[in-house]
Amino acid sequence: MGIEEFFDNIISVKLTEGGELNIIDQTLLPGEIKRINLNTKEEIWEAIKKLRVRGAPAIGVCAAYGIAKTASQIEAGNYADFEKEFLELKEYFASSRPTAVNLFWALNRMEDALKANKEKSIDEIKDALFKEAEDIRNEDVEISRGIGALGFKLLKKLKRNGKEIGIMTHCNAGTLATAKYGTATAPMYMALENGFSGDDMHVYCDETRPLLQGARLTAFELSNAGIKTTLQCDNMASILMKSGKIDIIFVGCDRVARNGDAANKIGTSGLAIIAKHYGIPFYVCAPTSTIDMKAESDKDIPIEIRDGEEITEMWYKERMAPENIGVYNPAFDVTDHSLITGIITEKGICKYPFDKAFKELGL
Ligand code: MRU
């Protein structure tokens, strides 16, 4: 299978020609590639909550299509009634997951599109909402390419004397988490498109407990794309970094505060601390839509706490811990800005002081 065909097969969210909101069910990967249609607002909410669709940009795209699709079913005779039901839908989708700011960003953009078209007929408004969702999706593809191009420049500087470049990543900030190229994986996909072979790079994927996005999703994606890929448990990252095998780290993120503090999948901040110790550059890859200028620092980033059963039983319903044990299961942590070498956005690489760098990008 060529890389384009592979990307098409695993596209995270799309609207079919028949108007169906269609996702790949990521909870079944890598064992089963199954695409499902989401028809009702409850199905869309559940798909986001249960991580059938996940990763900050993909959640945003799914919510945008989701609100366009469910708003198209509103039977209102006038704008005021339509807007009321639209805002109820918006609030409902916004309650699905708290950390990834892209969800709220995309829903706000959909509300802006609604209001910009308020003088039009209800049918025209419904069309405009679909168009806005489509724009959000298409822009995300270009954004990933922008991040990838800047990350690829960093990789090129590291390629020397035929030695493979050791790259570490955490969770899945790949194709499955976005509209196409991913964020943390975009430098590698851009490298493949620009003359690197899959063996020029060696990506070490943290398995990412408890839900194994690194093992199930990133290792699956990258190895299928022909990139040399190795999987390790999260607690093996330190020995790998000490061994000298890791030249650079790319991770995605769910929300960046104004001071550069960056929330990403639980375990990311530990990697950054170890990377600092060993002097390994640590880059956060983030579309500008992930930068929340309203959040001053980590204290303004809500951390999702998920069901303890994800740790005690995962999804297999086979108990791996004593009954009635207390469980702490935060889905994200925040990497302190002082540990981050740079934040790669589609518009440029931001360095400390991050608030100044973000303002220079026009945020
Ligand atoms: O809980 P998840 O799987 O949605 O967490 C995803 C991550 O932490 C990703 O790294 C992040 O959303 C960036 S995706 C480009």
Q: Which helix (H) or strand (E) holds 90?
A: helix 79-94
User: What is the Å distance from ligand 1's center to 100 Cα?
Assistant: 8
Strand 332-335 versus strand 342-345 pairing type: unpaired
Q: How far, in Å, from the CA of 54 to the mean position of ligand 1?
A: 6
Q: Residue of the nearest CA to atom 15 in ligand 1?
A: 173
What is the spatial distance between Cα 200 and Cα 120, in angstroms, rounded to a whole number? 54
Q: Which of 140, 206, 254, 298 is catalytic?
A: 254
What is the Cα–Cα distance from 262 to 252, expressed in whole angstroms?
A: 9
pLDDT at 339: 98
- What does 273-295 look like in DSSP terms, one character per residue? HHHHHHT--EEEE--GGGEETT-
Cα Rg of the chain, angstroms: 20
CA of 213 to the centre of ligand 1 (A): 9
C-alpha span between 177 and 185 (Å, rounded): 10
Q: Give CA torsion, residues 109, 334, 210, 250, to 10 deg.
A: 80
Q: How many CB atoms lie within 10 A of CB 316?
A: 7
State the pLDDT at residue 1. 64
CA 120 / ligand 1 centre spacing (Å): 37
Q: What pLDDT tens digit does each residue of the chain (363 aa) get?
A: 677 787 888 999 999 999 999 999 999 999 999 999 999 999 999 999 999 999 999 999 999 999 999 999 999 999 999 999 999 999 999 999 999 999 999 999 999 999 999 999 999 999 999 999 999 999 999 999 999 999 999 999 997 667 899 999 999 999 999 999 999 999 999 999 999 999 999 999 999 999 999 999 999 999 999 999 999 999 999 999 999 999 999 999 999 999 999 999 999 999 999 999 999 999 999 999 999 999 999 999 999 999 999 999 877 678 889 999 999 999 999 999 999 999 999 999 999 999 999 999 999
Quote the pLDDT of residue 160.
61
254 is catalytic: yes
Rounded to whole angstroms, how far apart are CA atoms 180 and 201?
Answer: 20
Atom of ligand 1 nearest to the CA of 287: 15
Other C-beta atoms closer than 10 Å to the C-beta of 38 total 24
Q: Is 55 annotated as a binding residue?
A: yes
pTM over 0.95: yes
State the sign of the Cα–Cα–Cα–Cα dihedral 55, 303, 90, 294: negative
Other C-beta atoms closer than 10 Å to the C-beta of 68 total: 26
Burial of 18 (0-12, 13-18, 19+ CB in 10 A): exposed
Whether the CA torsion 124, 130, 134, 139 is positive or negative: it is positive
What is the C-alpha separation between 33 and 12, in angstroms, rounded?
11
Q: Which residues line ligand 1 (CB under 6 A)?
A: 51, 54-57, 100, 171, 173, 177-178, 182-183, 213, 252-254, 264-265, 331
Domains annotated on the chain, with CATH: 3-139 (1.20.120.420), 157-360 (3.40.50.10470)
From the CA of 100, give the closest atom in ligand 1.
Answer: 12
Alpha-carbon distance of 224 to 283, in angstroms, equals: 24
| 228 is known to lie in a ligand binding site | no
Q: Is the ipTM of this complex over 0.95?
A: yes
In this prediction, residue 9 carries a pLDDT of: 85
For residue 229, the cross-strand partners are 203
Is 78 annotated among the ligand-binding residues?
no
Strands (E), the chain: 13-15, 21-24, 35-38, 165-169, 201-206, 228-232, 248-251, 255-257, 262-265, 282-285, 291-292, 332-335, 342-345, 348-350
